[in-house]
């Protein structure tokens, strides 16, 4: 009974009971009542009363509810009962700060976007795909689009800032007048693994000028990549892989020059058919560069190997791409280095042993024709995958040092 009375007091104050699964910042109490009391008292002493953010009401170690608002509170009593500890508080603030609801304009834009597609299981290749938009319903009582599957809202103003509809069985196309482009506060957009029926990437994407992450991979977009993507100057992550796209005008150099904040660029299987521009070496924050099967040709800039933040580099299956390994004078962040199916040649330098973070090295089917296999490979203790096949190396592969 005491538990219910205590929870009733919390409820009267307008405090929200929420699952402890998502909140671990507050003072939590275990079944050892003595240590629990000390932990709770210690937690209170650091809150700087009368301001309090999170407290737990519990009985015998079972959490019942959490105060999940920044409130102006006063401690009324902290008593020890045989059934547990109960915190009773009085509210000196007339209102409770709550997360704002989704804006009506954003909600209507999302619903209009949903209605522009058919839901087809074949539209997504992932076996676990399901239609996230199916539960988006305007008529549901208390419906708030911030709680819809795949939707993320700004906790300060309620605007939609993230939309993840990956593997959502969407079939159709997106034109430049799509309601999607009314979501101008979007920071993250993921439409990967759907079927947009070989339509072009719409020019309207340029209106989403705040985007930092854009993933359109494996979604059956086709044609020339829209020049409007160059206007997304805040992009940190761009993935257009596995689409029948081509990047000619604008070209790869235009992309790199305009998107200077990129950390991850994934263009696997996009028809680029150009040289790899030297300006890549200026992307000091680049961590992942995947350009597999892109029709690249000419000499690969060695400066890219020396990007200090680069962890994943793959240019597999570009047979006209040439290059040499540089000397690796310093340790590197590289975890994946894949040059298989290119025309890289020369020797494997002893300094490759300095790539001490390397997990996978694949240089199969290249034109390496001279030199012994570097014994320094044995220093790569993180290495789990090594493929040197279809080259003309000689000697034995060294054992890894442990």
Is the model's pLDDT at 300 over the cut of 90? yes
Query: Residue 232 falls within a domain, yes or no?
Result: yes
Q: What is the mean pLDDT of residues 244-259?
A: 96
* Per-residue pLDDT at 56: 37
Q: Can you tell me the distance from the alpha carbon of 326 to that of 348, in angstroms, rounded to the nearest whole number?
A: 9
Query: Residue 122 falls within a domain, yes or no?
Result: yes
Torsion angle of alpha carbons 317, 323, 327, 329, nearest 10°?
A: -60
Q: How confident is the model at residue 100 (pLDDT cuts 50, 70, 90)?
A: confident
Q: Can you tell me the distance from the alpha carbon of 197 to that of 126, in angstroms, rounded to the nearest whole number?
A: 17
Query: Residue 268 falls within a domain, yes or no?
Result: no
Query: Residue 262 falls within a domain, yes or no?
Result: no
Percent above pLDDT 70 for the chain = 74
Query: Residue 96 falls within a domain, yes or no?
Result: no
Q: Are residues 251 and 284 in the same domain?
A: no
Is the model's pLDDT at 284 over the cut of 60? yes
CATH of the domain at 281: 3.80.10.10
Q: In this structure, are residues 236 and 261 in contact, taking their beta carbons and an 8 Å threshold?
A: yes
Which of 35, 59, 91 terminates a domain? The answer is: 91
Q: How confident is the model at residue 140 (pLDDT cuts 50, 70, 90)?
A: low
Q: Can you tell me the distance from the alpha carbon of 75 to that of 73, in angstroms, rounded to the nearest whole number?
A: 7
Query: Residue 270 falls within a domain, yes or no?
Result: no
* Per-residue pLDDT at 149: 96
Q: Are residues 58 and 22 in the same domain?
A: yes
Q: How confident is the model at residue 27 (pLDDT cuts 50, 70, 90)?
A: very low
- Total number of domains constituting the chain: 3
Segments forming the whole domain that contains residue 229: 102-257
* Per-residue pLDDT at 62: 36
Antiparallel, parallel or unpaired: β 62-66 and 56-59: antiparallel
* Per-residue pLDDT at 39: 39
Query: Residue 266 falls within a domain, yes or no?
Result: no
Q: Are residues 27 and 126 in the same domain?
A: no
Residue 109 CA from chain centroid, whole number: 24
Burial class (CB in 10 A: 0-12, 13-18, 19+), 258: middle
* Per-residue pLDDT at 138: 82
Q: What is the mean pLDDT of residues 213-226?
A: 98
Q: Are residues 233 and 129 in the same domain?
A: yes
Per the model's pLDDT, the better-predicted residue between 73 and 208 turns out to be 208
pLDDT in tens, 114-127: 999 999 999 999 99
Q: What is the mean pLDDT of residues 210-216?
A: 99
Q: Are residues 287 and 350 in the same domain?
A: yes
Ramachandran sector of residue 53 (left: φ over 0; alpha: ψ -120 to 50; beta: rest): alpha
Q: Please state, rounded to an integer, the average pLDDT across all residues of the chain.
A: 81
CB proximity list for 152: less than 8 A, separation 6 or greater: 146, 160, 161, 162, 163, 164, 188
Q: Are residues 245 and 344 in the same domain?
A: no
Q: Are residues 243 and 178 in the same domain?
A: yes
pLDDT in tens, 307-352: 999 999 999 999 999 999 999 988 789 999 999 999 999 999 999 9
Q: Are residues 55 and 168 in the same domain?
A: no
Q: How confident is the model at residue 381 (pLDDT cuts 50, 70, 90)?
A: very high
Which of 42, 70, 91 terminates a domain? The answer is: 91
Q: Are residues 159 and 62 in the same domain?
A: no
* Per-residue pLDDT at 304: 97
Q: Are residues 374 and 336 in the same domain?
A: yes
Q: How confident is the model at residue 401 (pLDDT cuts 50, 70, 90)?
A: low
Q: Are residues 23 and 148 in the same domain?
A: no
Residue 74 CA from chain centroid, whole number: 41
Q: How confident is the model at residue 371 (pLDDT cuts 50, 70, 90)?
A: confident
Please indicate, yes or no, whether the overall pTM of this predicted structure exceeds 0.85.
no
CB proximity list for 4: less than 8 A, separation 6 or greater: none
Q: Are residues 180 and 317 in the same domain?
A: no
Query: Residue 243 falls within a domain, yes or no?
Result: yes
Is the model's pLDDT at 195 over the cut of 80? yes
Is the model's pLDDT at 6 over the cut of 80? no
């Amino acid at each position: 009974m005491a538990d219910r009375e205590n929870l009733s007091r919390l409820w009267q104050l307008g405090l929200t009971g929420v699952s402890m699964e998502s909140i671990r910042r507050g003072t939590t109490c275990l079944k050892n009542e003595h240590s629990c009391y000390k932990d709770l008292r210690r937690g209170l002493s650091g809150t700087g009363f009368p301001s309090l953010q999170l407290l737990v009401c519990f009985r015998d170690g079972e959490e019942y509810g959490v105060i999940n608002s920044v409130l102006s509170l006063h401690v009324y009593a902290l008593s020890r009962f045989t059934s547990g500890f109960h915190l009773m508080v009085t509210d000196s603030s007339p209102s409770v700060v709550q997360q704002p609801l989704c804006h009506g304009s954003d909600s209507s834009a999302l619903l209009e976007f949903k209605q522009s597609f058919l839901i087809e299981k074949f539209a997504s290749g992932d076996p676990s795909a399901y239609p996230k938009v199916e539960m988006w319903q305007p008529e549901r009582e208390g419906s708030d689009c911030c709680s819809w599957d795949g939707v993320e809202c700004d906790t300060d103003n309620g605007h939609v800032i993230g939309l993840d509809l990956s593997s959502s069985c969407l079939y159709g196309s997106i034109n430049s007048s799509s309601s999607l482009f009314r979501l101008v506060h979007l920071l993250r957009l993921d439409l990967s693994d759907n079927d947009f029926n070989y339509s072009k990437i719409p020019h309207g994407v340029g209106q989403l000028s705040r985007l930092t992450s854009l993933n359109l991979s494996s979604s059956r977009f086709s044609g020339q990549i829209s020049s409007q993507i160059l206007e997304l100057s805040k992009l940190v992550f761009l993935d257009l892989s596995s689409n029948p796209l081509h990047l000619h005008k604008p070209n790869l150099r235009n992309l790199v020059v305009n998107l200077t904040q990129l950390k991850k660029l994934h263009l696997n299987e996009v028809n680029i058919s150009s040289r790899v521009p030297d300006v890549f070496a200026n992307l000091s924050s680049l961590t992942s560069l995947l350009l597999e099967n892109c029709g690249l040709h000419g000499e690969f800039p060695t400066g890219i190997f020396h990007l200090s933040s680069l962890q994943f580099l793959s240019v597999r299956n570009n047979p006209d791409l040439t290059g040499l390994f540089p000397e690796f004078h310093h340790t590197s962040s590289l975890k994946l280095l894949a040059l298989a199916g290119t025309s890289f040649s020369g020797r494997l330098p002893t300094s490759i042993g300095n790539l001490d973070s390397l997990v996978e090295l694949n240089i199969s089917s290249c034109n390496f024709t001279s030199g012994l296999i570097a014994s320094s490979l044995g220093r790569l203790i993180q290495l789990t995958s090594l493929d040197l096949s279809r080259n003309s190396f000689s000697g034995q592969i060294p054992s890894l040092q442990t």
